[in-house]
Structure 1
């Protein structure tokens, strides 16, 4: 029987887990090792995992209760038989997209932070990939907070920001939302800029996404300037791991202490990913 192995993928975060078949029930011993590796590395990659949608859901339940996808731009689940699975794809059948986010760049973001209890984790399973492009990058927000200059740590201490619900990370407006030009009027949850991770207890930057963000209680120009400094700070290769996808890769990440983004790719190629997410809890400020 293959023995589970953990191999680090980058200094900042990310590890590859081998020696486990995620299409079959996971032993408690292996699950505990995976959970420990996830806590340490924040992003885990499992290669060569040919999973059906029911198997993807079953694997996800090892990590908590499934959190249904947020509303997409089309107003209905992409998979009628499996509404708890989100589809990330540029493929169209006729004029109808089979998934969201298209083929353009998806900017830095964490998933669904515009709600009061954002998901704690996500799985992403690669079913079709383009020959080039469409890479995904993750950033470690523990490291980003640690590396902040003292004046920025002081500037954001105790402050909260609006996490806009209007647009997704590809810039598409969500179903039922209206265009927002003043970030102070953006709909969405208010979360601390420095959050306390509920399991590690450590502080991390909790930014969500840049568009329509606003730091409560600040002048709008001052808020924008401070947010621009924070976002410029996190876009640093020293905080990141880049995933170059292979077919049937399965990635698990901690949505509470990472951000992620995606490169654009050839619109004529096909990219198909199925994603699940795990329910989280309220975001607690780090005091």
Structure 2
């Protein structure tokens, strides 16, 4: 979260290769994996993949991305931009370079009226692969045969909301996905297939800006602190 003044290290552990799998139609749901004794001590780590950042090739004028007639609304000074009039699936590789750079700068960017849901899954994966190797979420369900696609949903009959506030006083919960991995995802495509008429809002926070707003003394207090992050506990 903080700039480089705070050193961070990542340790990963081996998982058992025998997760329990439930098939519900075309959707594969993974229940929490079983871990063998001593797994925490194994610390084998993930094998890093070589990555090329296409944002380095981008012209920051974004002229191949934000064409004439495209509506761009910055939602806050440091992050969040609403874009209307760009169809991501039609971008050239040069346009994808600028998309990667634009999203890296603005952090959370909703592009309205996209045709992602109409694309065959493999075609959508091929599109996203331009930016690098796909991440496979360790705890999420996925369409059968496509582990790179992460499904965030409540299954029919899920009543977890009824007990949600038994141990909470607010529905606000902040997280940074899979931060314990050696190579967490650099960017993520989110597409809403079904949503409620009201509610269900997701907030995005700029952790770097939050750090920069701290007093120098508080920033110094954070330096050297360590956090334990695990995909098991």
Shared fold by TM > 0.5?
Answer: yes
Contact 2:85 2:112 in 1 (8 A): no
Structure-2-length-normalised TM-score:
0.58
1:111 aligns with 2:177: yes
Displacement of 1:106 in angstroms is 6.6
| Aligned CA-pair RMSD | 2.8
Q: How does 1:8-157 map to 2 (within 5 A)?
A: 8-24=74-90, 26-51=91-116, 52=119, 53-72=121-140, 77-92=141-156, 105=171, 107-157=173-223
- Per-residue CA deviation, residues 28-80 of structure 1 (Å, 9 max, x unaligned), is 332233223212211111111122333432332232110111124xxxx4311
State the partner residue of 1:276. Answer: none
Q: Which has the higher strand share?
A: 1
Higher relative contact order (CA 8 A, sep 6+): 1
Which consecutive residues of structure 1, in runs of 5 or more, have no partner in the other structure?
167-186, 188-287
Moved over 4 A (4+): 101-106
SS in 2 for 1:17: strand
Structure-1-length-normalised TM-score:
0.48
Contact 2:87 2:115 in 1 (8 A): no
Displacement of 1:149 in angstroms is 1.8
Q: Distance in 2 between matches of 1:39 and 1:22?
A: 16
* Equivalent residue pairs, number: 156
1:163 aligns with 2:226: no
- Per-residue CA deviation, residues 162-187 of structure 1 (Å, 9 max, x unaligned), is 12434xxxxxxxxxxxxxxxxxxxx5
SS in 2 for 1:165: coil
Which consecutive residues of structure 2, in runs of 5 or more, have no partner in the other structure?
1-63, 165-170
SS in 1 for 2:151: strand
Q: How does 1:117-266 map to 2 (within 5 A)?
A: 117-166=183-232, 187=233
Higher Cα Rg, which structure: 2
